[in-house]
Structure 1
């Protein structure tokens, strides 16, 4: 951490540990050649992959299957001017293996908006980055500006 910026870079294991503590993140993908961001509830698989359970007919499924995406989650304490943010980037794919789908029905995240036919989207992170601001005194009250 640079003494002047108040942030501490997080390693991959710290990032994954923090991701496992929050239920909602944002998936960043391309929609009609423009960046799109969608909040989703999620879970982590045993290997650190991000799992999202959603409707098989959702626009998200067709937009991200086989695409490179980013996934971001964070936690902020506005009163203490502290928090963290983690970004995982990698390939997204719909889980099509029947045995894997059954395993995820038991162990994966449940959808906050259940649908008649659900699928799991798996994001295998190639790059995971994060940073933490602990007890910061941010300029202008914006904790994550730099």
Structure 2
């Protein structure tokens, strides 16, 4: 394994459409697969108003809620790939101009209206490349 810089880790994260979001729900850890996009140093995800994630983020407004976001790209046959973890604060996006800018993005795989946009401001970003043994 070789550690990558935070900037390279964010670039790797931007290159895949899906990751896993870790957050607290009723005092316990919860993990959900979600689609994301990376823009202006933030990780943006869509959810719906009645989701557990929306409830968890809304509980701690205005300071936001601490979350962990992880994504990877692994080749099991080659035993190679990478993994990135970003830890930071999640808050709903409420500014009309930002909501308009991200209208319909990121695209989601869930077949229901995803009417809430959440921005994660990463504070700690770590990543590793896994290379096959020589």
Check whether TM > 0.5.
yes
**1:91-102 matches, cutoff 5 A:** 91-102=89-100
Confirm whether residue 15 of structure 1 aligns to residue 12 of structure 2.
no
CA contact (8 A) 1:55 1:114 kept: no
Structure-2 separation of matches of 1:117 and 1:11 = 32
Q: Which runs of 4+ in 1 moved over 6 A?
A: none
Residue-pair matches, total: 129
Unaligned 5+ runs, structure 2: 59-63
Match in the other structure for 2:44: 51
- Deviation of 1:136 (Å): 3.6
RMSD: 1.6
Of structures 1 and 2, the larger Rg is shown by 1
Asked whether the 8 Å contact 1:82–1:136 carries over to 2, the reply is no
The residue aligned with 1:82 is: 80
- For residues 68-110 of structure 1, give each alpha carbon's deviation from its aligned partner in whole angstroms, at most 9, with x where no partner exists: 000000011111111111000100001011111011116x312
**Are the equivalent residues in 1 in contact too, given 2:85–2:127 (CA < 8 A)?**
yes
Task: Give, in whole Å, the separation in 2 of the partners of 1:133 and 1:74.
Answer: 11
CA separation of 1:26 and 1:116: change in aligned 2, threshold 3 A: closer
Residue pair 1:91, 1:125 contacting (<8 A) in 2 also: yes
2:61 corresponds in structure 1 to none
Bigger proportion of residues as strand: 2
**How far off its partner does 1:26 sit?**
0.3
Q: Which stretch shows the higher mean deviation, 95-104 or 109-118?
A: 109-118
Quick check: 2:46–2:114 contact (8 Å CA) kept in 1?
no
1:117 CA displacement: 5.8
